[in-house]
Amino acid sequence: MNLEKLSIKEVHEKLIAGEISAVELCKFHLERAEKFNKTHNAFTTITNEFAVKQAEEADKRIKSGKNITILTGIPFSVKDVFSTKGIRTTAGSKALDNYIPVYTATVIQKLFDAGAVMIGKTNCDPFAFGASNENSGYGPVRNPWDRKRVPGGSSGGSAAVVAARVGYYSIGSDTGGSIRQPAAFCGVSGLKVTYGRNSRYGLFAMGSSLDTPGVLAKSMEDTAIVESIMSGNDEKDSTSSQRSTPDYFKELSKKVDFSKIKIGLPKEYFIEGLDKNIEKATIETAEFFRSLGAEIRKVSLPYTKYALAVYYIIVPSEISSNMARYDSLRFGMEKGEGYAERLLESRMEFFEPEVKRRIMLGTYTLSAGYYDAYYKKAMKVRTLVRKDFEKVFSEVDVVLTPVSPTLPFEIGEKADDPLAMYLADVFTVTANIAGIPGVSFPAAHIKDEEGKKHLPVGVQILGPQFSEELILKLAHSYQGKTDWHEKMPELDL
């Protein structure tokens, strides 16, 4: 039946028709999860018993014909930075190896309420600190297209399992590109919504003014289905938007009048060092939209050159504040006697190197004598970055850019150079700084230097605040021209 290749809508129809039960579907994907995890280390926890119980409940719903949604009985996974009541939640760090939350994150609870079946928690950089998924306390995740390479980060585990067709979608988080970049590295779709569109309640805080829950899936259609259910206002999150949420899935069926669409190509994203394959894929994607009738314009976002520096001042600063709660008393592993000793020793032993690095950077930029020179100035430039986008979006509807300056790199290639690693975020952090939505999708695939492995190439569309409907429709129009996964070779599983 090739269950793994079906869309959410197709699987839903088979469940409703009784061609397969939710329990059978769940066990099918649990088996795939176990197999994939042995070779790619993509899960921190596979929730066998919990998933089967959810699937049994889904079958009861379907049989009764009540409380059925398009996600009822559909298996999915969750990045291990979202709280799930009664289920081990590590945030990818050994510091929380034994942590069991007492509540479930709002976006995950909405999916549970819809009858979705969670098959596992996916591996990630610790507390979402990273761009390659190499920093995890549980070891690196491996890219499904080439095990020697990274899947991107910090939602690398989620991107990898979706690419491997383990479950039908995964929930990740994006603070500076942590959904879009791994989606590009693994050849799947990744949606970062407007800040406030999805509730942050229950998401482990990294950069509180930037964190955004989102969806990784095989297609825009699947992405739109999930986002329609998980988005919306949440009284538990004071930053949650009160705007009504459209049915993104239904909106995809409406034809786009491309003669009225203006797409910008910002010159600052086509920099020296940009991989030629990525540049070519981005230009060819723009030409595709031009062939449909869209107007393609060159635009400028001059403050983009400062965005990465701004991001790596603001984020460590907010990390320094947010990480204060992990004192080994309320959260974290216990080591040492007395509060001060326990605080120091537990952090020194159980916090991963990247966690320590970012706490120290943030503490420094917030310290007396440096706050005005670094953090305050960064916040001013953040406003200028946002105004850059506001100006450009008065000229064009969206902008089209590369997601990453490089293709997926080899595990360990940048491990000794944190600055080179941080540069992987250069094209994605701007969307978080400005609070705008972006969607990453596969635009091409190439062979590696040896001509053996196929590697995906992703591009992204960025739009004004709350333009998720538009960017999803544009990306869907592109993906509709070809079945990406049918054209790709078989995965290295």
pLDDT value at residue 479:
83
Would the pLDDT of 324 be above 90?
no
Mean per-residue pLDDT of the chain: 93
In a domain, 346, yes or no: no
Instruction: Evaluate if residue 491 carries a pLDDT over 90.
Output: no
Matching residue, tokens 């305050």:
376
Question: Minimal CA–CA distance to 96: which of 112, 83, 78, 109?
Answer: 83
Does a structural domain hold residue 348?
no
In a domain, 31, yes or no: yes
Domain-located, residue 99: yes
Residues assigned a catalytic role: 79, 154, 178
Give the pLDDT band of residue 334 (cuts 50, 70, 90): low
Q: How confident is the model at residue 461 (pLDDT cuts 50, 70, 90)?
A: very high
- Percent helix, strand, coil in the chain (nearest 5)? 45, 15, 40
Number of independent structural domains in the chain: 1
109-122 tens-digit pLDDT? 999 999 999 999 99
CA-based R_g, the chain, Å: 21
pLDDT band of residue 369 (cuts 50, 70, 90) is confident
Residue 474 lies in a domain: yes
pLDDT digits over 29-51, tens only? 999 999 999 999 999 999 999 99
Domain residues for 247?
A: 3-264+282-300+387-487
Query: Residue 349: pLDDT band by 50, 70, 90 thresholds?
Result: confident
Question: For residue 475, is it within any domain?
Answer: yes
Q: Which two tokens stand for residue 383?
A: 């406003």
Alpha helices in 393-442 (DSSP H): 418-422, 429-434
Q: Is 298:268 a contact under the CB 8 Å cutoff?
A: no
DSSP, collapsed to helix, strand or coil, labels residue 132 as coil
Q: Which of 9-13, 189-193, 251-255 has the lowest mean pLDDT?
A: 251-255
Lateral strand order in the sheet of 262-266: 43-46, 117-122, 75-79, 169-174, 212-217, 189-192, 438-447, 454-462, 398-402, 262-266, 295-299
pLDDT of 485 above 80: no
The per-residue pLDDT for range 403-418, each reduced to its tens digit, is 999 999 999 999 888 8
Q: What per-residue string of b and e applies to 12-36 under the rule 16 or more CB within 10 Å gives b?
A: bebbeeeeebbbebbbbbbebbeeb
Residue range 220-259, pLDDT digits in tens:
999 999 999 999 999 999 999 999 999 999 999 899 999 9
Confidence check: pLDDT of 373 > 70: yes
Residue 483 pLDDT greater than 80, yes or no: no
Mean pLDDT value across residues 391-409: 97
Q: Are 361 and 300 in contact (CB under 8 A)?
A: no
Provide the pLDDT for residue 481: 63
- Residue 313 included in any domain: no
> Length of the chain, please?
493
What pLDDT does residue 266 have? Answer: 98
Residue 367 within any structural domain of the chain: no
| 446 has a pLDDT exceeding 90 | no
pLDDT for 124? 98
CATH of the domain at 123: 3.90.1300.10
Q: Looking up tokens 């592109």, which residue turns up?
A: 478
3-state secondary structure labels for all residues of 258-301: HHHCEEEEEHHHCCCCCCHHHHHHHHHHHHHHHHCCCEEEEECC
Q: How confident is the model at residue 454 (pLDDT cuts 50, 70, 90)?
A: confident
